[in-house]
Structure 1
Amino acid sequence: MLNPTPFFIHSLTALSAILAKAEDWQTAKTLKPEVIPNLRLTADMLPFWRQIAIACDHAKGAGARLAGVDVPVYADAEGTLTDLRARVASTLAFLQSLPADAFDGADALTITVKAGPRELSFPAAQYLHGYAVPNFYFHMTTAYAILRSNGLEIGKRDFLGG
């Protein structure tokens, strides 16, 4: 059975804890609320807030598609760390709402997603393991790297979660 929710839930819970540390750091450094969400690892990469949004999109998208339900749509309007924590919380709540039996038969599905102007189709296992999970961790790792490179004291244990 292809049920990705336990893994996404674990990692999103760790991400929520990292965001809480970032909020404390923001307060200690007296940074304006819009500073951290707009940080980038490099000029041609997406900002921190977008990295979080895309990680959440891949997690909820994989859960929904493999469970055969509609993918929730979020506004992509997160301008503060509080907004980002709310997005992670919404994604967690959605994933936690999916019953395990919703994934019965997911192995036999063909998953089609839009990627920019292209439409990509995959057998379910290839979609999960070769597209959704790698994209989720790419964006989660990039978000972690943005915070770490700007001085937030977080490490591997924070990323991996409890």
Structure 2
Amino acid sequence: MSLYTQTVPVLIKYLDNLSKIVQKGAAFAQEKGIKTEDVLQHRLIADQQGIIFQVQACCNTSKSGVSRLGVEAPFVEDNEQTFDDLVKRIEHTIKLLEGVDAAIVNAAADKEVIMETRMGNFYFKTGQQYISEFVIPNFHFHLSTAYCILRAQGVQLGALDYMNNVFTKHEP
């Protein structure tokens, strides 16, 4: 399976699911008369960020993931404040991913990747290792955290909200 196939379509699918999860959070806040700021700022534990950060992290991981493989990706400010802002950020990231050239991603499968961060630089022997061991797990960590933040507040979410469009019904 190509590196592109393991990365871009998977990220798009789960970003779409994240968008729907965020929209359910917005609907919940409105239905229950809860201030949206309270829902957005809720943390599972004091030293962990709220849903705004989690959504930004999913989008940034997706964008940076393909960028480090050679795809041009513009800088995006982390300035979202509302549910609508988060949905727009996700949509922007999906559009970016939909425009990714599979050949560029696939060409990076065996190339080393250096991930420069505030915590230092991290080395991955291949693009495949970078995607398999960092991008996909990190993305799902933040998606799961966003899901759990909303779920902990009472938003009616289930496994199929997270795994939407993953299963294809088999009819023998």
- Give the TM-score category using the shorter length: over 0.9
Q: Which residue number in structure 2 is paired with residue 21 of structure 1?
A: 24
Q: Which deviates more, 2-11 or 17-26?
A: 17-26
Structure 1 residue matching 2:155: 3-state secondary structure: coil
- Kindly indicate whether residue 57 of structure 2 is the aligned counterpart of residue 54 of structure 1: yes
In the TM superposition, residue 92 of structure 1 has moved relative to its aligned partner by: 0.4
CA deviation digits over 1:76-128, x for unaligned, max 9? Answer: 11111111111111110000011222323111221111232311121211111
Question: 2: distance between equivalents of 1:133 and 1:115?
Answer: 17
Question: 1: distance between equivalents of 2:113 and 2:8?
Answer: 17
Contact 2:42–2:51 (Cα < 8 Å) also in 1: yes
- Kindly indicate whether residue 3 of structure 2 is the aligned counterpart of residue 2 of structure 1: yes
Structure with the greater alpha carbon radius of gyration: 2
In the TM superposition, residue 56 of structure 1 has moved relative to its aligned partner by: 1.0
- Pair 1:89–1:57, CA change in 2 (3 A): same
Structure 1 residue matching 2:130: 3-state secondary structure: helix
Contact 2:40–2:52 (Cα < 8 Å) also in 1: yes
Contact 1:19–1:81 (Cα < 8 Å) also in 2: yes
Contact 1:111–1:124 (Cα < 8 Å) also in 2: yes
Structure 2 residue matching 1:5: 3-state secondary structure: helix
Question: 1: distance between equivalents of 2:155 and 2:100?
Answer: 34
Q: Which residue number in structure 2 is paired with residue 145 of structure 1?
A: 148
Structure 2 residue matching 1:108: 3-state secondary structure: coil
Structure 2 residue matching 1:119: 3-state secondary structure: strand
Question: 2: distance between equivalents of 1:116 and 1:153?
Answer: 36
Structure 1 residue matching 2:116: 3-state secondary structure: strand
**The one of 109, 117, 120 aligned to 1:118:** 120
- Kindly indicate whether residue 159 of structure 2 is the aligned counterpart of residue 156 of structure 1: yes
Question: 1: distance between equivalents of 2:43 and 2:65?
Answer: 26
Contact 1:39–1:47 (Cα < 8 Å) also in 2: yes
Question: 1: distance between equivalents of 2:102 and 2:93?
Answer: 17
The amino acid of 1:13's aligned partner reads: D
CA deviation digits over 1:2-36, x for unaligned, max 9? Answer: 11100000100111111111111111012223222
TM-score, length basis structure 1 = 0.93
Question: 2: distance between equivalents of 1:72 and 1:42?
Answer: 32
- Kindly indicate whether residue 133 of structure 2 is the aligned counterpart of residue 130 of structure 1: yes
In the TM superposition, residue 131 of structure 1 has moved relative to its aligned partner by: 0.8
